[in-house]
Amino acid sequence: MYVFHAGKQPTYRCANCNNRIVTADIEEIYHDQLKTFLLSGVTISEYLEKLDVQLQEKETLLSTIFKERDSLLKKIDIFNDMRINNELTKELFQEKHKPLEVRLM
């Protein structure tokens, strides 16, 4: 649609079907739609609630990851101590230590 100023009021006109609508009317409809979709307090509060839920999920996941990391570090320390005290052979140490190291990274 194009705006033509030929008459008393500017109008949008479709080049294909030649339908016309006054610019003030279509702009009022557009603004009402914007208010409905963008300026609604309910929509914003729902969006913020959704973000809060996502944030809680991410914090829980992060906490789980830190717990797993601490557990892996403890196990690695135990295997290191066992190897230093000659309680594990070199081959057994590598067999037990390598998966923990890979998981930690």
Averaged in consecutive runs of 10 residues, what is the pLDDT profile of the chain (105 residues)?
68 82 87 74 75 95 96 94 92 92 89
CA-nearest of 45, 8, 12 to 26 is: 12
Confidence (pLDDT) at 19: 84
pTM of the model: 0.52
Cβ atoms of 75 and 68 within 8 Å: the answer is no
Confidence (pLDDT) at 12: 82
Rounded distance between C-alpha atoms, residue 11 and residue 3, angstroms: 5
Domain ranges of the chain: 1-39, 51-105
